Chains A and B, each alone.
Chain A
Amino acid sequence: MDKLHLDQHISHQFNEDLEHLRTKLLEMGGLVEDQLKDAIKAVETADGGLAEKVIETEDEVDRREMALDHESISLLARRQPAASDLRLVMMVTKATRDLERMGDEANKIAKMAIALNNEGGESARGYVELRHLARNVIRLVSIALDAFARFDVESAMKVVREDKNIDTEYRSAVREMITYMMEDPRAISRVMNIMWALRALERIGDHARNIAEQVIYLVHGTDVRHTSIGDIEKKLQEKLEAH
């Protein structure tokens, strides 16, 4: 079924428990992905109702985070998993946290949408940058979740590399925002809102990278946090040669 052979335990119940954990994490990921897409759409279309929906979904995301953590702890206590099974359970507990934080950031964007809506005014300045960054971040989240679904290190590496680009784009968008504020001080409050939304997107990119790093740890058992991309590639190459 997959590279980690989750379905090959002597205990069928164990197979099912691990598979359930994986499915539930992907469901939670899908929920957060929708939240993010809706939040961006709410900003773009000044849709207060959609923004409210994003905020409401937050409770469901929190509930799922707790349920997944509960299941992970129960699995640790009852099965004492080892090796890749242990890494999967540890990864899930960490990824739920990253997903929950992504949900929080999407929430912030939704609140920004409501604020922008209430302020009114016709200036659409900053939307281009926001849309651009949002498109890339949404794609990044989707690749990260896909990397987990398929235990695919190549996709995970793609996320790690592209998160660097996101950070660069974020900085350049912020510089743009500053020029807008200098050009037209009346737009400051409005542009500030866009800036917060950009910041939230950048943070979401970081969480996607965390998940991607955890996928690499899950598959190879190599800890690649706080490591430069060059060093990660070197580590993975060594790992491949060792096998």
Chain B
Amino acid sequence: MNLSPDDRAELKYKTVGEKFSETPKLKIRGLNVSYAEKQAIFDVNLDIGSNEVIAMIGPSGCGKSTFLRCINRMNDTVDSCRVEGSIQLDDMEICDDKVDVVPLRARVGMVFQKPNPFPKSIYDNVAYGPRIHGLASRRSELDGLVETSLRRAGLWDEVKDRLLQPGTSLSGGQQQRLCIARTIAVSPEVILMDEPCSSLDPIATAKIEELIAELSENFTIAIVTHSMQQAARVSRRTAYFHLGQLIEVNDTQHVFTNPDHQLTEAYITGRFG
């Protein structure tokens, strides 16, 4: 991204498709994000529906990861980053400076590109969140939470006999599922996934995708992916970002068979955009 305010005027694409949802979990309005002088996101308006899986696709540098990171205030850690606009999680304004990010991140969890288990045991990785948020008062309660989370992440059977071994001893795919278990252990409402499978093999990827389908029954999931096939497989809606703008958002089937915008078509069919 390297756009001056002058470029911005020329780059006005109106978002096509269905931006809004009848049952919104997240309402994003007039979102603009800049890193120092460079604007990364231009006036994004979008609803993310309750229990829906929405995929963000687009070329590198299109702003999709920046967009995702706004939703749980991960951009706060970048000094030069300025966020304008509104993101509402139910009735809570996420962009409000007064919002405490610790409880926010319990409600909006995140899974990263590279599995990043803590240098602790498998058990402690999952128990970490519930402990700091005080979600379990007794050991047995915590044990139950750890087991449920690992089960929901589809990892329990593989690790139940070695819960005290370090999380880093697991394979890449298992580590990513451990991170998902850690995320869901604090019962978030929204799970953000930033290219969660890009370092995994196809089998581990298939397991995570299967997991996403199951998790969508209880959680709202926003996933950034470079794999268009993955977006096509897992999401209900797909949003296409281009040069920091939300170009199109529509039902995934619509996007992949008959997209409304030429830029979307060019991207998903591998043409010169």
Contact = CB atoms under 8 A, between A and B. Distances in A.
A8 B272 CA distance: 6
Contact of A87 (B228, B232, B257): B257
Contacts of A82: 228, 232, 256-257, 268-269
Interface in A1-32: 5, 8-11, 14
B270 interface: yes
A84 B260 CA distance: 11
A176 interface: no
Interface string B210-244: 00000000000000000011001000000000000
Interface string B260-271: 100011101111
A220 B259 CA distance: 10
Interface string A79-98: 01111111100000000000
B272 A221 contact: no
Given A87-B257, A220-B258, A242-B260, 13 more contacts: A8-B271, A8-B272, A9-B270, A10-B271, A10-B272, A81-B269, A82-B228, A82-B256, A82-B269, A83-B258, A83-B259, A87-B258, A221-B257
B270 A10 contact: yes
B229 A80 contact: yes
Interface in A186-210: none
The residue among B260, B268, B271 with the most chain A CB atoms within 10 A of its own CB is B271
A9 B271 CA distance: 4
A84 B270 contact: no
Interface of A: 5, 8-11, 14, 80-87, 220-221, 242
Contact of A14 (B258, B260, B270): B270
CB-based closest 5 A-B pairs: A221-B258, A8-B271, A82-B268, A82-B256, A83-B265
A82 B271 CA distance: 11
B206 to A, nearest CB: 16
B227 to A, nearest CB: 10
Contacts of B271: 5, 8-10
A205 to B, nearest CB: 28
A242 B14 CA distance: 13
A221 B264 CA distance: 14
A85 B260 contact: no
B16 to A, nearest CB: 9
A31 to B, nearest CB: 30
Contacts of A221: 257-258
A84 B258 CA distance: 7
A87 B257 CA distance: 7
A83 B256 CA distance: 5
A134 to B, nearest CB: 37
Contacts of B260: 242
A197 B229 CA distance: 48
Contacts of B265: 83-84
Contacts of B258: 83, 87, 220-221
A80 B272 CA distance: 17
Nearest to B268: A82
Nearest to B265: A83
Contacts of A242: 260
Contacts of B232: 82
Nearest to A81: B269
A83 B270 contact: no
Contacts of A220: 258
B269 A83 contact: yes
Contacts of B257: 82-83, 86-87, 221
B179 to A, nearest CB: 28
A81 B268 CA distance: 9
B272 A83 contact: no
A58 B122 CA distance: 67
Contacts of A80: 229
Contact of A11 (B229, B264, B270): B270
B72 to A, nearest CB: 31
A10 to B, nearest CB: 5
B122 to A, nearest CB: 36
Nearest to A90: B257
26 contacts: A5-B271, A8-B266, A9-B269, A9-B271, A10-B271, A14-B270, A81-B269, A82-B228, A82-B256, A82-B268, A82-B269, A83-B256, A83-B257, A83-B258, A83-B259, A83-B265, A83-B268, A83-B269, A84-B265, A84-B269, A85-B269, A86-B256, A86-B257, A220-B258, A221-B258, A242-B260
